Amino acid sequence: MKDNKPHNSFFTSDKDLYLRIKKYKDKEAFLTAYDAYAEDIYRFVYFKVGNTEDAQDITSSVFIKAWQLVQSGQLKDDGNYKGLKNFLYKVARNEAIDYYRLKHSTSFSEADIDADEKDIEDKSQDVFGEAALSLDKDILQKNLLKLKREYRTVLILYYINELSVSEIANITGKTKGSVRVTVFRALKALRELMEE
């Protein structure tokens, strides 16, 4: 069956992958992108929702949704090959917001939280309390999950998934300056929690 023929041997750089997915909607290339980014996306989602089952469900739906968007030509060319990674993070962020809406029947979005400078504690953290504590870095995880989502998002993206300020700005729709300030404030807030 010709569709099963792997294309991985032909061009393997991120740039080629991006071009193959965007221009040719290459399915094998998309599966290669899954291999490359699934762990990062899962980690990003995990720290957003706080439990393994939901993180797995959301990660699955992120890639399916992303493929649908690729097929409908919505993988935007933002001028560089990192567009694919940014695109996946954006889809993941939206999927996480949808998850909050469904799970808690709330109407807030990250944009609403961003507008609110008050340190709103994420209620969903209660769900994962035990799982988080079972991990080696339980205290840090627990405190990380106590942060408001905006802070948590930038800390995960910047320090754990090691994205650049530009990439985070692209994903979150903020300016680079705003991202830098948020990272600084988030780190300060986390330190204060750790010192309590």
Partner 1 sequence: MNDKELIAQLKKMESLKPNGEWLKANRQVLRAQIYNGREDCQELGFFAKFNLLAHRFSQPYAVAAIIVLFFAGSGALSSWMSKDAKPGEVLYTAKMISEKTKYTLTLNEDSKTKLNVEFAKERVDEMNDVLKTETKSENKVAILKDNFKKEVSQARERLAKNNPVVPKKANTPVASSKKPAATTARATSAAPQTNTNASFMTAADSKGLGGIDISVGETDNKKLEDVLKKESDNPVEILDKAQELFEKADYQGAKDALDKANELIQK
Binding site residues, partner 1, CB under 8 A: 2-3, 5, 7, 10-11, 16, 19-20, 23-28, 30-31, 34-35, 38-39, 42-43, 46-47, 52, 55-56, 59-60, 63-64, 67, 71, 135, 137, 140-141, 144, 155-156, 159-162, 187, 190-191, 194-195
Distances (CA, A) of 34 to 30, 38, 66: 6, 5, 10
What's the closest the beta carbon of residue 152 comes to partner 1, in angstroms? 11
Backbone angles phi, psi at 109, to 5 degrees: -130, 170
Min dist CB 185 to partner 1, Å, is 12
| CB-nearer residue toward partner 1: 61 or 178 | 61
In 155-171, which positions are buried (b, 16+ CB within 10 angstroms) versus exposed (e)?
Answer: bbbbeebebebebbbbb
Q: Which is nearer to partner 1, 79 or 105 (CB)?
A: 79
DSSP state of 6: -
CB of 59 to partner 1, least distance (A): 7
- SS3 readout for 151-174: HHHHHHHHHHCCCCHHHHHHHHCC
**Looking at beta carbons only, is 111 or 135 nearer to partner 1?**
135
Please state, in angstroms and rounded to a whole number, the distance separating the CA atoms of residues 83 and 128: 32
**CB–CB of 194/139 below 8 Å?**
yes
Nearer to partner 1, 160 or 181 (CB): 160
In the bound state with partner 1, the residue whose beta carbon lies nearer, of 101 and 137, is 137
CA distances from 3 to 27, 29, 69 (A): 8, 12, 20
Q: How far is the CB of 34 from partner 1 (least distance, A)?
A: 6
Q: Output the CA torsion 123→136→54→101 (10° steps).
A: 20
- Minimum CB–partner distance for residue 115 and partner 1 (Å): 26
Q: Residue 106 CB, nearest distance to partner 1 (Å)?
A: 26
Cβ-based nearer residue to partner 1, 64 or 111: 64
Closest CA to 27 of 66, 77, 57, 80: 66
